Amino acid sequence: MKPSWHRFAFCLLPERLITRVVGAFARSRLSRVAIPWFVRHFGIDLEELDRPLSEFTSLLDLFIRRLRQGVRPIHPEGVISPVDGTVRALGRIEGERLLQVKGVHYSLARLLGSREDAALFADGHYITLYLSPRDYHRIHVPLDGVMVGWRYIPGRLFPVNAWGMHHVQGLFTKNERMVTFVRTVAGRMAVVKVGATIVGSIRTDYAPNLERAWRRGLPMMEGRGDGRLLRRGMELGRFEFGSTVILVFEAGMLESFVVAPGEAVRMGQLIATLRSCLPV
């Protein structure tokens, strides 16, 4: 990736200040006036909402909306999409390198915050899913398993849209992220939740202090999964605007992907088949 004024501009971007200011507005009751515009501009399907639009108290309330029961059927086998979004990239991990955009790779060790953990997934597979502002923002479990640990990695909050993808090399290794490690009967999996501008808080119930960590600039934090049982479709966390989820699988775990880059996916949809589909 050649140096450019775009990359220089990104380095100067006050993304934390932007996130704080816009985030404060989105949380305020004043932001309710922007909800009709937001719905029209992004084409949000009101039929999917779990309550009338008039009951949403702020833009943030709409961003983290829940859906009506049954509107996202959960496929009973294989790996399901943990989010509504668009497939940005997928394929085999080349040693410890993943594709960001055509011709640009980044380090799995830097993404996961550990060279030792990265070695467990060497030559495995990955898929990158981008959530736009219009998408449902809750994150769900893609495959039955047991949580064996998590890691919060502080970082920047560059935009993760197409502009950021093309102008910030190693974008996903620079931004704030939360990694959840899962053991399944088919192999090991990591669910990487990547923060972005206006998404300074990745929320989970098993690591409740992430908002405080982000605001105070705390160092990397880790925790044990304590054997928490995860079932496909169970809620795992949420973003507060739009961002990216990267799923990483150890070698030999997947049979094949059944989606392609550029394809829109919905939470619960089958995205990959497994070589072993035994129940946990």
Report which DSSP code applies to 48.
G
DSSP codes of every residue in 139-191: EE-SS-EEEEEEEEE--B----SHHHHHHSTTHHHHB-EEEEEEEETTEEEEE
68 in any annotated domain: no
Q: What integer best gives the mean pLDDT of the chain?
A: 83
243 — phi, psi (to 5°)? -165, -145
Query: What pLDDT was estimated at residue 181?
Result: 96
**For residues 179 and 157, what is the distance between their CA atoms, to the nearest angstrom?**
16
Residue 25 shares a structural domain with residue 110? no
Band (176; pLDDT cuts 50, 70, 90):
confident
Q: Are the C-beta atoms of 188 and 247 separated by less than 8 Å?
A: no
Query: What pLDDT was estimated at residue 203?
Result: 80
Query: What pLDDT was estimated at residue 222?
Result: 77
Query: Which has the closest alpha carbon to 99: 49, 42, 170?
Result: 170
Average pLDDT for residues 188-211, to the nearest whole number? 76
Lowest mean pLDDT among 54-58, 136-140, 200-204, 228-232: 200-204
Residue 151 shares a structural domain with residue 117? yes
152 in any annotated domain: yes
Residue 124 shares a structural domain with residue 241? yes
Of residues 126 and 14, the one with the higher pLDDT is 126
Token pair of 129 as six digits = 């899913």
Residue 122 shares a structural domain with residue 209? yes
Query: What pLDDT was estimated at residue 208?
Result: 66
38 — phi, psi (to 5°)? -60, -45
* pTM of structure: 0.86
User: Residues 15, 35, 209, CA angle at the centre, nearest 5°?
Assistant: 45
Answer whether residue 8 shows pLDDT above 50: no
Residue 95 shares a structural domain with residue 220? yes
Answer whether residue 126 shows pLDDT above 80: yes
Answer whether residue 14 shows pLDDT above 60: no
Q: Taking the alpha carbons of 85, 87, 92, 93 in that order, is the dihedral positive or negative?
A: negative
Catalytic residues: 84, 140, 243
Band (24; pLDDT cuts 50, 70, 90):
confident
12 — phi, psi (to 5°)? -90, -5
Query: Which has the closest alpha carbon to 110: 171, 160, 40, 53?
Result: 171
Tens digits of residue pLDDT in 217-267: 556 777 887 789 999 999 999 887 668 999 999 999 999 999 999 999 999
258 in any annotated domain: yes
Band (12; pLDDT cuts 50, 70, 90):
very low
Of residues 55 and 26, the one with the higher pLDDT is 55
71 in any annotated domain: no
Give me the number of domains the chain comprises.
2
69 in any annotated domain: no
Query: Which has the closest alpha carbon to 42: 63, 56, 22, 71?
Result: 63
Residue 115 shares a structural domain with residue 216? yes
Residue 100 shares a structural domain with residue 236? yes
Band (101; pLDDT cuts 50, 70, 90):
low
Residue 118 shares a structural domain with residue 25? no
Residue 53 shares a structural domain with residue 101? no
- Structural domain span for residue 16: 11-63
Q: Taking the alpha carbons of 111, 246, 137, 36 in that order, is the dihedral positive or negative?
A: positive
Residue 150 shares a structural domain with residue 120? yes
193 in any annotated domain: yes
Tens digits of residue pLDDT in 143-170: 999 999 999 888 766 655 555 555 566 6
Residues whose CB falls within 8 Å of the CB of residue 191, separated by 6 or more in sequence, listed in order: 82, 139, 141, 142, 179, 180, 182, 236, 245, 246, 247
Residue 168 shares a structural domain with residue 264? yes
Residue 33 shares a structural domain with residue 117? no
Query: What pLDDT was estimated at residue 223?
Result: 82
Residues whose CB falls within 8 Å of the CB of residue 96, separated by 6 or more in sequence, listed in order: 107, 108, 109, 118, 119, 121, 122
Average pLDDT for residues 8-23, to the nearest whole number? 56
